Homo-oligomer: A and B are copies of this chain.
């Protein structure tokens, strides 16, 4: 690009004195320019004095070393041992201690924080568990996370999605109303399995599995879950006693209208009023982030006001929480059941809630880490969250993780270290020890209102619209997750959405972009002629860029597609009286990897083109591809005379050769 302005002024007169080294490409490029504006001249090859650059191969590695590097990249992408390099052994011990118990890292720098409203009680109800379990789950897990976790901003506790999924999966087998003890046992056991699953993922460094839940999937999933959750709250909000045990949209709506004679006007008035206030404060805080305390404080205020009202009123038609046991978490290790007919169910529920809560926890941790410019170690986080849940299941807690809403509140309140988790646990401790009787008159309807307010925020209509605008397949995954959760089941919705996301990746690999490239005037760069309208084809050359790894799944397509381009280009040449294609240049710059089928495809393409007396040359293979090529027969076939440093050099070298007879 730089000096070509001068080159353009050179005539491609072959009678000129010996061309400077490398002029061939310039001549070709100049010819290409001319071709855009006028019928192309016969390409007059420059002399053979052409300085070409060799295609390099990365330094040879043994198979074992290559494997080690590859595995390292898969399992240790974050290079966790980096800081241990070049350190004394005493220093290494301290670092290791800090690695496993990050509390040592920030133990000194700590700042107290605001007392925050607690949603634990409401989330436990989402999982069909007694409200007190929600408080228990806000006490022990934060303490454990404070010890093990590596994120400084993550606030730990029960979250809505995992609560909902646990509730809906367990309720398929056991009714929480009819068999409350069995249901509790299953919940704790599932929590235990969730912890085991999470810790193993982290230990085996398989953390990348959570990456397969795409944001599009989660957008749809959360919106669907939010609606399902809100619908479940109609029970509390309308005061209905006989409510369906199903979660599906249709079942719930049918149940709501079937029992319309049970609707309680007092409950409805109270619920609607508080719901409006909560939604309003939420809206105000969203518009004016400085008023964040409004939405943060509103739930607790509502609980207090409604409890007082309900205490004064004492209406029998408003159902209240009732008596809650005072005292800290009772041990529950004896409630874990690993035998009997429900083992499969608890394992399934554990894996499902485990992966969902991991996804939320990791995403939140990463988000705040990137805002505050530090890195969280995903795999270590998983181990911390896993251990936290395993311990939690023995102390009357159900699944907990890093919660987005809690962490956001922490963050706005200026928390800088994980000590915030300890402070939060202390606040819950005070509640458990002394404040439990105060909840006696808290109306259930207020919990429903708080839950609805919390989950409504999960519906991201603007995000879905953005998906539609940018990527239709992402939107499809989103819509599938949404409708699947709403109409079929939570698992089905997630499974379909993950399937679509994976299919999208496979589709892109199966049908990769192949583009015809031309030279951009004033440069030596070859670009897609569809993208750069000024890019001009070089006569007698077909330059095809392959924009994907070449795999078994697309190797056949690649050959077919190149042949189709060749046919089109020959038709075009025939129509416009240009010289026919003599050389096909495959630009491999964007081919990130190749497998044995891909190598075979290159050989086959060469064979097919040879029969038609057309040359096939390759340009700019990347390291791993060049390595593979030289390890196989392809390396010999495409020797140094068919393998070029760049498309420009390939064209230049090709132009140097006399036209084939």
**If the complex has contacts A22-B5, A559-B370, are A590 and B622 also in contact, measured as CB distance less than 8 A?**
yes
A179 within 8 A of B: no
CA distance A371 to B548 in the complex (A): 26
CA distance A527 to B515 in the complex (A): 21
A131 within 8 A of B: no
Pairwise interchain contact B505-A509, C-beta atoms closer than 8 A: yes
A483 within 8 A of B: no
CA distance A2 to B484 in the complex (A): 58
**If the complex has contacts A1-B648, A211-B556, A622-B528, are A595 and B471 also in contact, measured as CB distance less than 8 A?**
yes
CA distance A512 to B371 in the complex (A): 24
**In the complex, what's the smallest C-beta–C-beta distance from A243 to chain B, in angstroms?**
37
A177 within 8 A of B: no
Residues of B within 8 A of A534 (CB): 56
CA distance A501 to B552 in the complex (A): 9
A547 within 8 A of B: yes
Q: Which residue of B lies closest to A27 (CB)?
A: B2
**If the complex has contacts A2-B7, A215-B600, A552-B215, are A608 and B561 also in contact, measured as CB distance less than 8 A?**
no
- Interface pick from A350-358, A421-429, A431-439, A624-632: A624-632
A288 within 8 A of B: no
**In the complex, what's the smallest C-beta–C-beta distance from A630 to chain B, in angstroms?**
10
**If the complex has contacts A522-B53, A559-B370, A624-B513, are A3 and B1 also in contact, measured as CB distance less than 8 A?**
no
Pairwise interchain contact B1-A22, C-beta atoms closer than 8 A: yes
Q: Which residue of B lies closest to A362 (CB)?
A: B556
A 151-176 to B, binary, CB cutoff 8 A, 1 in contact else 0: 00000000000000000000000000
Of the candidates B1, B553, B608, the one whose C-beta lies within 8 Å of that of A53 is B1
Pairwise interchain contact B470-A51, C-beta atoms closer than 8 A: no
**If the complex has contacts A67-B472, A215-B552, A373-B608, are A523 and B1 also in contact, measured as CB distance less than 8 A?**
no
Residues of B within 8 A of A567 (CB): 82
Pairwise interchain contact A56-B22, C-beta atoms closer than 8 A: no
A636 within 8 A of B: no
CA distance A600 to B589 in the complex (A): 25
CA distance A412 to B1 in the complex (A): 54
A258 within 8 A of B: no
**If the complex has contacts A470-B599, A632-B466, are A608 and B370 also in contact, measured as CB distance less than 8 A?**
yes
Pairwise interchain contact B592-A557, C-beta atoms closer than 8 A: no
A596 within 8 A of B: yes
**If the complex has contacts A595-B504, A646-B525, are A56 and B533 also in contact, measured as CB distance less than 8 A?**
yes
Pairwise interchain contact A211-B649, C-beta atoms closer than 8 A: no
**If the complex has contacts A508-B592, A595-B216, are A645 and B564 also in contact, measured as CB distance less than 8 A?**
no
Of the candidates B59, B67, B513, the one whose C-beta lies within 8 Å of that of A593 is B513
- Interface pick from A72-80, A96-104, A230-238: A72-80
* Interface residue count on the A side (C-beta < 8 Å): 120
Within 8 A of B (CB), among A563-598: 563-564, 567, 589-593, 595-597
A469 within 8 A of B: yes
A212 within 8 A of B: yes
Q: Which residue of B lies closest to A588 (CB)?
A: B590
Residues of B within 8 A of A2 (CB): 3-4, 7, 20, 22-26, 524, 648, 652
Pairwise interchain contact A510-B211, C-beta atoms closer than 8 A: yes
Pairwise interchain contact A63-B510, C-beta atoms closer than 8 A: no
A331 within 8 A of B: no
Residues of B within 8 A of A53 (CB): 1, 520, 522-523
Interface positions of A (Cβ within 8 A of B): 1-7, 20-26, 51, 53, 56-59, 63, 66-67, 73-74, 77-79, 82, 208, 211-217, 366, 370-371, 373, 375, 378, 466-467, 469-474, 501-502, 504-513, 515, 520, 522-525, 527-528, 530-534, 547-549, 551-557, 559-561, 563-564, 567, 589-593, 595-597, 599-600, 604, 607-608, 611-612, 620, 622-624, 626, 628, 631-632, 645-646, 648-649, 652
> A82-B567, A215-B552 known; 18 other A-B pairs, CB under 8 Å?
A1-B648, A2-B24, A2-B648, A3-B3, A3-B4, A58-B530, A58-B531, A74-B510, A208-B557, A211-B552, A211-B554, A214-B595, A215-B600, A373-B612, A470-B628, A471-B628, A509-B509, A513-B622
7 contacts between A and B (CB under 8 A): A2-B24, A67-B472, A214-B552, A378-B556, A474-B595, A505-B549, A547-B592
